């Protein structure tokens, strides 16, 4: 753990390790075709039954609580948890948004195996981001002991097939980069830079912000909660050359629908739901386009669990012009 700085945003810290990387990779693998996975991992994920991968993101608090940084430490932490406690993590008992939305009583009862409470959670239209049935139907039908066993089996299988060589070195390098930035720049600026355009708005529930660098390309930004912490897991990428930045800008503007979305955001259509309604595109497609525009530095995501809004970056046009001039060698002396 590295404490970066204490600001009006609250205490900002960095937590990094293969344990977080593994949970995020399991979330991404859960959404992938089973044929793309190692057979043992595919079978283990099938037994968990979460096709959206949301359950794994709700387990990010386990390595935080247990100070588990390696994959082996994560597996030992899961094995040592009381089965009901593991289900509390899965169901969001330690995430203030889920408790407010679905109710602590139902979450606690479902964690203990209450069928009626489980049914209410699965039917809730907004709980688990609207994916409760796809993510939890299999697990909630199990007793707590079997839930823990299936989760542990998937973690063990993922540890063998998802963590590539050199992952520890890459994560340590990302951690060092984040630490260096926090030592020299305001926390809000650092968060926006590391996350490629997320502007965090402080929440009264969050006593600290925990930055979690990872390498999973399928999940460039994950926003989660655990106890009194706002978790911001972001894909760590090396600094890009001017040419690469210009390529990202070009890719973002090469699609007519992305240009349409950029214009809508510029005119004040800022929520994902409004952009989906305005464009007629699917949720996943709109989020893909928004990620491309954010990666190019054209828009930013602003807010917290109460509301997230996409906004135009006023400085983007000047940055783009300066980038073109630099690549062309025509910038002013």
What is the CB neighbour count within 10 angstroms for residue 130? 14
The pLDDT assigned to 9 comes to: 60
Residues linked to residue 221 through DSSP beta bridges, in sequence order: 234
Q: How far, in Å, CA of 27 to CA of 41, rounded? A: 12
pLDDT at 332 over 70: no
160-169 confidence digits (pLDDT tens): 999 988 899 9
The pLDDT assigned to 72 comes to: 97
Rounded to the nearest 10°, the torsion over CA 250, 255, 261, 266 is: 30
48 contacts 39 by C-beta, under 8 angstroms: no
Residues linked to residue 213 through DSSP beta bridges, in sequence order: 234
What is the CB neighbour count within 10 angstroms for residue 328? 9
The pLDDT assigned to 238 comes to: 80
Nearest Cα neighbor of 253 from 195, 299, 293, 288 is 293
Nearest Cα neighbor of 269 from 280, 261, 281 is 261
- 242-328: CATH number: 1.10.10.10
> If you average pLDDT over every residue of the chain, what do you get?
93
pLDDT at 237 over 90: no
312-322 confidence digits (pLDDT tens): 999 999 999 99
Q: How far, in Å, CA of 7 to CA of 298, rounded? A: 27
Q: Which residue has the tokens 């062309």?
A: 328
Nearest Cα neighbor of 44 from 160, 134, 164, 130 is 160
In this prediction, residue 230 has a pLDDT band, given cuts at 50, 70 and 90, of: very high
pLDDT at 16 over 80: yes
Q: Where are the domains of the chain?
A: 18-161, 242-328
């Amino acid at each position: 753990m590295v404490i970066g700085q204490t600001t009006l945003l609250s205490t900002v810290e960095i937590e990094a390790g293969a344990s977080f990387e593994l949970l995020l990779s399991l979330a991404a693998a859960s959404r992938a075709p089973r044929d793309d996975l190692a057979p043992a991992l595919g079978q283990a994920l099938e037994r968990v039954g979460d096709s959206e991968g949301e359950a794994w993101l709700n387990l990010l608090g386990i390595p935080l609580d247990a100070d588990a940084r390696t994959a082996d430490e994560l597996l030992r932490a899961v094995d040592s948890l009381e089965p009901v406690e593991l289900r509390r993590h899965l169901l969001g008992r330690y995430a203030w948004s889920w408790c407010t939305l679905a109710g602590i009583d139902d979450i606690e009862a479902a964690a203990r195996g209450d069928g009626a409470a489980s049914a209410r959670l699965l039917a809730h239209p907004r709980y688990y981001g609207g994916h409760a049935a796809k993510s939890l139907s299999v697990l909630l039908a199990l007793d707590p002991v079997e839930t823990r066993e299936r989760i542990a089996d998937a973690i063990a299988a993922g540890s063998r097939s998802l963590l590539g060589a050199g992952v520890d070195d890459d994560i340590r390098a990302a951690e060092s980069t984040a630490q260096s930035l926090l030592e020299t720049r305001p926390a809000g600026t650092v968060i926006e830079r590391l996350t490629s355009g997320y502007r965090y708005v402080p929440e009264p529930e969050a006593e600290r912000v925990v930055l979690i660098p990872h390498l999973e390309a399928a999940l460039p930004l994950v926003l989660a909660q655990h106890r009194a912490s706002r978790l911001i897991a972001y894909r760590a990428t090396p600094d890009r050359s001017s040419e690469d930045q210009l390529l990202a800008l070009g890719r973002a503007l090469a699609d007519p629908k992305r240009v349409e979305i950029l214009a809508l955001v510029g005119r004040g259509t800022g929520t994902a739901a409004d952009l989906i309604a305005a464009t007629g595109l699917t949720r996943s497609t709109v989020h893909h386009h928004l990620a491309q525009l954010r990666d190019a530095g054209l828009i930013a995501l602003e807010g917290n669990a109460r509301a997230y809004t996409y906004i135009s970056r006023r400085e983007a046009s000047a940055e783009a012009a300066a980038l073109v001039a630099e690549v062309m060698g025509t910038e002013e002396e």
